[in-house]
Amino acid sequence: MQGNWLGVAFRRGDRHRLIDDLIMGATLGSWVHCELIVGHNRSGRAYAAFQGARGFMPSQSDHNPREWALFAVPITDPAAVRAHVMTVLALDPPYNYADLWQCCVTAMLPWETELDCARPESWTSSGVFCSQVALLFLRQLARQRAITLPGDTGALVEATHSRGCSPNMLFGLLSRSCQRVF
């Protein structure tokens, strides 16, 4: 990609890892983790929520095309994107273990309160998991017009409940009309 872009990178599961097998089986797909990447031209900085860590934080992942798929959208307001990332990092929301089951069994979602993408301070009580925080970022930055979501992606992002958004669900939303880099 050229210029400023926001990406979501998806890691393919490894059939030799039990946790990956469980995630792939429960969420009906091959993607087990995702990360946000704030990029400029050919480089970028990745962020994600990690199990066993403090939650949303910078990532050290090597996003090689053999294990990862990357979708990217143009950034129209780099300062707004940086500000949102810095705000969420400073708030340090924990990892959301409690809602992971809803990525597999979505029947309770209509009764669940959605997190407010515009108020990341509200995320600190429940926490966020990887695809949940990516969806909330996309929603907020699209509302601010800091990124441009193509086609019907904006409507799909708005309509998806973050507490039940698995990496496979988010991959499906973005693969409809976003540019796949690799």
Give the pLDDT band (50/70/90) at residue 54. confident
pLDDT of residue 105: 72
pLDDT in tens, 65-111: 999 999 999 999 999 999 999 999 999 999 999 888 888 777 566 77
pLDDT in tens, 125-169: 999 999 999 999 999 999 999 999 999 999 999 999 999 999 999
For the chain, list the domains and their CATH numbers. Answer: 4-180 (3.90.1720)
SS3 call for 180: strand
- Torsion angles phi and psi, residue 152, rounded to 5: -90, 10
Q: Average the pLDDT over 34-47 and give the result.
A: 97
pLDDT of residue 99: 85
Q: What is the DSSP letter of 147?
A: B
* CA angle (153 as vertex; 148, 155 as ends), nearest 5: 105
Q: What is the DSSP letter of 75?
A: B
Contact 154, 142 (CB under 8 A): yes
pLDDT of residue 46: 98
* CA angle (63 as vertex; 58, 67 as ends), nearest 5: 130
Provide, for the chain, the percentages of residues in helix, strand and coil under a 3-state DSSP scheme, each rounded to the nearest 5: 40, 25, 35
Q: Is 168 exposed, middle or buried (0-12, 13-18, 19+ CB in 10 A)?
A: buried
pLDDT of residue 45: 98
Q: Average the pLDDT over 50-73 and give the result.
A: 93
The sign one gets for the Cα dihedral 134, 137, 142, 147 is: negative
pLDDT of residue 109: 62
Q: Average the pLDDT over 27-43 and give the result.
A: 96
SS3 call for 60: coil
pLDDT of residue 65: 96
Give the pLDDT band (50/70/90) at residue 53. confident
Distance of CA 112 to CAs 29, 70, 86, 122, 161, Å?
A: 24, 30, 28, 15, 9
Chain mean pLDDT for the chain: 94
pLDDT tops 80 at residue 38: yes
pLDDT of residue 112: 80
Give the pLDDT band (50/70/90) at residue 31. very high
pLDDT of residue 51: 86
Exposure pattern of 33-45 as b/e (b: 16+ CB <10 Å)?
bbbbbbbeeeebe
